[in-house]
Structure 1
Amino acid sequence: MKDKLRIGCGAGFSGDRLEPAIILAEKGDLDYLVLECLAERTIALAQKRKLQDISKGYDPLLERRIESLLLILKRNNVRLITNMGAANPIVAAQVICQIASRLGISVRVAAITGDDVFSQLTGEETALETGKPLKASGSLISANAYLGIDALVPALSTDADIIITGRVADPSLFVAPLVHEFGWSQQDYEKLGQGTVIGHLLECAGQLTGGYFADPSKKDVPDFAQLGHPIAEVSPDGTAIFSKVAGTGGLLTTATAKEQLLYEVMDPGQYITPDVVADFTGVYIQGAGVNQIKAWGGSGKQQPSTLKVSVGYAAGFVGEGEISYAGSNALGRAQLAGEVIKQRLKDSFPDLRIDYIGSTSVHRKTFGEHLAPYEVRLRVAGKASTAAQAALIGEEVEALYTNGPAGGGGARKYINEVVGIVSTLIAREKVHPTVTLLHT
C-alpha cells in the first residue's frame, strides 16, 4: 500500500483548457491524472452525435487531449482516468489506441460501459424535476445512470494505463484510485465520505485554484491568465493536502476551497453519490502553506439503493436574434424595439423572452437608482417545435435595421436545436458495468 497518493485534475468540463493537464502530467509528480469532462447536457448531446454517426459520441477534444498527453503520461508513469468516453467509451478507447500506434508507443486502455440504460426505461418513470412521467417531457433520446467506484475499481485492478468511462459521478473518478491503492473497503462509508470531499474539491479543476472565485479588488487572483489546476496528496486515512504546480497562476486558499466545497451542494449533510451519502458538515479546511490547504473530517453513511439517471429529450428549437443600440436614450430605443418584436410575434411565441443586455438581462429588474446605460444589446429568444418557426425570431430582429428605432446595428440571428434534461432513479441492481480491455 502506498503511504501517499498524488492525484491531479487536469480538466473540469468538456471545453476546459488543454495546457493545465500537460503541466500537471509533466511537473505534478502525479500517480493519477483525472480529466472530468462530462455533464448532464454533455452526455445527451454525445448520445445525439452517436445516433447520427456510430463512430462518434465521445468527447470532441479527446484526440487533442490524448495526443498532447500520452507520451508524457507514459514517460512519467501517470495513470489517466477520464469520462471522455461520454456516449461511446469503446470507440473512444479504440481512438486512443490508434493515437498510441501513430506515436509508436504501447498503451493499455480499460473502457467502462453499462451506464447507458435507455433500453430499460419505459417513459412511465417519474421525472424528479416535474413529478410527471418522463415521456411527458418530449421524445426521449438518451438515459445514462451515474456509475460509481464499483464500476471503476475493477478497471483499476487491471494493468490499464488509461481508464475511460461514460457517465460516472464526478467525485467517484477520484475516490476510486483511493479505494484501489489504499485498500479501502467499499463499505467503509467514513473513508468514502472523506474521499468524496477530496473528489468534490478537485472535480471542477481550476475552480479550486481561483477560477469562478476571482472578483477584482475584492478577491484578486494572481497571474489569472495562467491558472494552474489542483493536486491532492492523500494519506491512507483520507487526509489531503491540496496544492498546485509551482510557478502556475491562480490562488489556493481556505477561501477558494470553501467556495468549491459548497459548490452545487444543496444539503451539506447529505451529499448523495453512488458510493456514499457524504456528510460535509464536519469538514475542516486549514492553510498548510503558500497555495496549500489541508482538508479532513468528511464522513458518510450507506450508499443509496438507487442510482440517478440523466435523461435527454428532444426539446424543440430556440430561435434568437440580437441587435445593439448605443448613445443617448439607448435603453429607450432598445425597449421600443423590444415592444415591436413582442407585438409582431405574440401570436406565434406566447413565452417570448426579451433581454436588455447591459440593463436588466441578468436580474430581470432594477435595484435602486442607476444611470441609464449608454449602450444596450437587445436579445430576443423563444422556443419552437420546428426550425422554420424558430427562424422567425431572428428574421424579425434583423428587420429592425430599417423598420425599427434609430441607430440599431450589429444584428445577428441563430437557430439551435435543444436537448432538454430531466432525471429519474433506477434500482442499483439493474445497472451492470462492464470493463473492456484494449491495447496496442
Structure 2
Amino acid sequence: MEELYVGCGAGFSGDRLDAPGPVVDTLIGLPGRRFMMFECLAERTLAFAQIARRANPGLGYEALLVPLLRPILAACVEHGITLVGNFGAANPPGAARAIAALAAELGLAPPRIAVLEGDDMTRGEGGPALLRRLVGPRYDADPFVSANVYQGAFQIAAAIHAGAQIVVAGRVADPSLTLGPAIAHHGWRWDDWDLLAGGTMAGHLLECAAQVTGGYYADPGRKDVAGMDNVGFPIARIAADGTCVIGKAAGTGGAVNARTVKEQLLYEVHDPAAYLTPDVVADISEATVDEIGPDEVRLAGVRGHERPPTLKAAAFFEGGWMGDAEISYAGPNAEGRARLAMDILRKRLGGDLVLRFDLIGVCSILGDDAGRMLAATPAGKATDVRLRVATRHADVAWIDRLHREVTALWTGGPAGGGGVKTSKRQRLEMVNFMVPRELAPATFHFHDPEAAQ
C-alpha cells in the first residue's frame, strides 16, 4: 500500500500564511497519498464566527481562508494533495463558495469540495427543543449565540472515499482532521480501536502546527531551537499499524525531537490513559517516543478503547462587554506616577465598576483580577511602566466611560502620561454539555457550483 503523509497548514485561526508553502513543497516530493490538514478553530473562534454570520450570512468562515489557500491551492490540485480543514467554521457552505471562487480565479477546473454538516445544533428540526433539554433553562434565560457539537473522522473519510479534493468542515475534533485521511487511506473500521487511537494521536501531534516543531517549546538557554524565524510546520507519516513518524517541512527551522513530541503529546490531555475523542478513547500510558533520524520521531504503542457514547458540545451566550485601556509613564518616579493614575481611576470609577489594574513592568502577567498581588508588591523605582486597567459590564456605555477616563489622564492625571490605547470587545460565556451521538449525526454533500451562481 502507498505510504500516507499528512502535513499541517494551520494550528489556529490567524496562523502564519507563509508556513503551508514549504509543507506542500515537501509533500510534492514524497511518494504515496498526501493530505494537508488545517486546524483553525478554538472554541470562542467558532462562536465569534457565528456572530459574524448572524451579521452577514455570507461570512462566518475562516477570515483568512483565501490568503491561506491562494499560494498552495493550484499545487495541491495539480499534485493530488487533498485538503481537509475546519476552516468552514460557522459557515462551511460559504467557505466552499469562497474556495470555488478562488479556484476559478486561479484558472483551475472546479475542484470537488465536500461540505460537512451536523455540528451546528441550531440547524435542522428539533434544534431549540433539544438544546433546552441538554443545556437547561439558561438556553431561554440568556442571549443565546450558538451551539456546536464536536464531530469525528468518519464523515471526513466518507467524503474522501467519494472523491473529495477538499473537505470543508465546521466543528470537528482537532485530531479527527488527520484521522479522517488515515481511515480513508488504510481502510480502518469504526471499531479498530488501537489503529484509530494511533491515528488520533498523530493528529494530536499535528493539530497545533509549530508547537511540535519547536515553536512553543523554545526557551533560550534551556531548550534552544535554531531557525525560529522560519520554524517549519509538521508532517506525519502514518502507517497501517497506527504508528506514525513526525517530521517537518524541508529547508525550514525549528526542531522535531523526543522532547518536542512528548510536550505536544501531553498537551491538553487530562488523562493519558483515557484521551476522549468522538472516534476513540486513546491511551498513551505505554506509548513509546523514539528519535529515528534528524527531525524524525516515531510514536508507537498507543492503545485504544471503545469510543464514548456521547459527543462534547459547547453552547455560547452573550456575556456583555470587556474593555481595557493603557497609558505609559517613563523616567524618574514613573512607577509612582502610574500608581497615582491607578488611584485616580479607582476613585472615579471604582464605585460603579469592578476594575483590574496591571502595572506592566512591575506586576501584570502573574497578577490577579482582585489586585491582591499588586497590592502586596511594594512601590519600587521602575522607570518604564505601562498602566493597564480593564473591566467588564453588560452595558457597553460603561466601557466607553472607562476609555474616556483613561484618555483624560493625558492632561488630568500625573505628569508625563502618554501612548493611550483603548479597546473593547463582546464577551461570551460558554456552557459545555454532552450529546448522545445518535442525536447529532454528521453528513456531507458536495458543493454545487451551479447552485452557487
Same-fold call, TM cutoff 0.5: yes
Cα contact 2:231–2:254 (8 A) shared by 1: yes
RMSD: 2.0
CA shift digits 1:350-376 (9 cap, x unpaired): x21111112211111389999743211
Q: Aligned in 2, Cα 1:408/1:369: closer, same or farther, shift over 3 Å?
A: closer
- Inter-partner Cα distance in structure 1 for 2:253 and 2:286: 30
Distance 1:124 1:357 in 2: 44
Matched, 1:302 2:295: no
Aligned residue for 2:173, secondary structure, equals coil
- Which residue does the alignment assign to 1:390? 399
Counterpart residue type for residue 82 of structure 2: R
SS in 2 for 1:217: coil
> Given that residues 148 and 313 in structure 2 are in contact (C-alpha distance below 8 angstroms), is that contact kept between their aligned partners in structure 1?
yes
Q: What residue number does 1:84 align with?
A: 87
Residue 413 of structure 1 is matched in structure 2 by 422
Q: How does 1:268-307 map to 2 (within 5 A)?
A: 268-307=272-311
2-side partners of 1:154 and 1:50: how far apart? 27
- Note the C-alpha offset of 1:125: 5.3
Corresponding residue of 2:9: 10
Work out the number of aligned pairs and report it: 434
Between the aligned partners of 2:357 and 2:142, the Cα distance in structure 1 is 25
Amino acid at match of 2:399: A
Distance 1:67 1:134 in 2: 42
Q: Which residue identity does 1:87 align to in structure 2?
A: A
- 2:3 aligned partner, one-letter code: K
In 1: Cα distance, 2:303 partner to 2:49 partner = 34
- Matches of 1:27 and 1:386 in 2, distance apart? 52
Tell me if the contact between 2:23 and 2:250 (Cα under 8 Å) persists in the aligned partners: no
> Secondary structure of the residue that 1:68 maps to in structure 2?
coil
AA paired with 2:334? A
- What residue in structure 2 maps to residue 95 of structure 1? 98
Q: Residue 370 of structure 2 aligns with which residue?
A: none
Indicate how the Cα distance of structure 1 residues 137 and 238 shifts in structure 2: closer, same or farther if over 3 A, else same.
farther
Deviation at 1:332, TM superposition (A): 2.3
Distance 2:431 2:415 in 1: 43
One-letter amino acid of the counterpart of residue 81, structure 2 = V
Are 2:194 and 2:242, in contact at CA under 8 Å, matched by a contact in 1? no
Pairwise CA distance, 1:437? 0.7
Which residue matches 1:180?
184
Task: Determine the C-alpha separation between the residues in 2 that align with 1:66 and 1:95.
Answer: 10
Residue aligning to 1:160? 164
Q: Which residue of 2 aligns with 1:62?
A: 65
1:126–1:134 Cα contact (<8 Å) kept: no
C-alpha change, 1:301 and 1:98, in structure 2 (3 Å) is: same
What amino acid sits opposite 2:355 in the alignment?
A: L
1:431 and 2:434 correspond? no
Residue 309 (structure 1) shift: 0.9
Aligned to 1:267: 271
Which residue does the alignment assign to 2:21?
Answer: 22
Residues 135 and 342 of structure 1: CA distance in aligned 2, closer, same or farther (over 3 Å)? farther
Alignment of 1:9-408 (within 5 A): 9-28=8-27, 29=30, 31-106=34-109, 107-118=111-122, 120-122=127-129, 124=132, 134-135=138-139, 138-349=142-353, 351-364=354-367, 365=373, 372-408=381-417
3-state DSSP of counterpart to 2:99:
helix
Equivalent-residue separation in structure 2 for 1:378 and 1:61 (angstroms) = 33
Query: 1:169, 1:373 → 2: CA distance?
Result: 46
Mark the runs of 5 or more structure 2 residues left unpaired by the alignment: 368-372
- Answer whether contact 1:318 1:383 (CA < 8 A) is retained: yes
Cα offset, 1:339, TM superposition: 1.6
Q: What letter matches 1:246 in structure 2? A: A
- Point out where structure 1 has 5 or more consecutive residues left out of the alignment: none
The structural deviation recorded for 1:236 is 0.5
1:237, distance to aligned residue in structure 2 (A): 0.3
Which of 1 and 2 has higher RCO (CA within 8 Å, sep 6+)? 1
Tell me the alpha carbon deviations over residues 23-67 of structure 1, each in whole angstroms, 9 at most, x when there is no partner: 111222360011111110111111111111111111101111222
Q: Tell me what 1:422 maps to.
A: 431
Q: CA deviation at 1:99?
A: 1.6
Cα offsets for 1:138-178 (capped at 9, x unmatched): 31110010000132121111111101100000000011111
* Cα displacement (A) at 1:133: 5.0
Q: What is the identity, as a one-letter code, of the residue corresponding to 1:51?
A: R
Q: Is the deviation greater in 315-324 or in 410-419? A: 410-419
Does structure 2 retain, via aligned residues, the 8 Å contact 1:241–1:295? yes
- The 3-state SS of whatever aligns with 2:62 is coil
**Cα distance per residue 1:261-290 (max 9 Å; x no partner):** 111122212211111111121111111111
Paired residues of 1:156 and 1:180 also in contact (CA < 8 A): yes
Moved over 6 A (4+): 366-371
State the Cα distance separating 1:388 from its structure 2 match. Answer: 1.4
CA distance in structure 2 between the aligned counterparts of 1:257 and 1:294, rounded to whole angstroms:
9
Task: Indicate if the aligned counterparts of 1:338 and 1:354 stay in contact, CA closer than 8 A.
Answer: yes
SS in 2 for 1:168: coil
Task: Measure the CA separation in 2 of the matches of 1:369 and 1:428.
Answer: 55
Amino acid corresponding to residue 356 of structure 2 in structure 1: R
1:372-397 superposed Cα distances (whole Å, 9 cap, x missing partner): 43211111111111221211111111
**Identity percentage over the alignment?**
40
Structure 1 letter corresponding to 2:408:
A
Residue 447 of structure 2: SS of its match in structure 1? strand
C-alpha distance in structure 2 between counterparts of 1:137 and 1:181, whole Å: 47
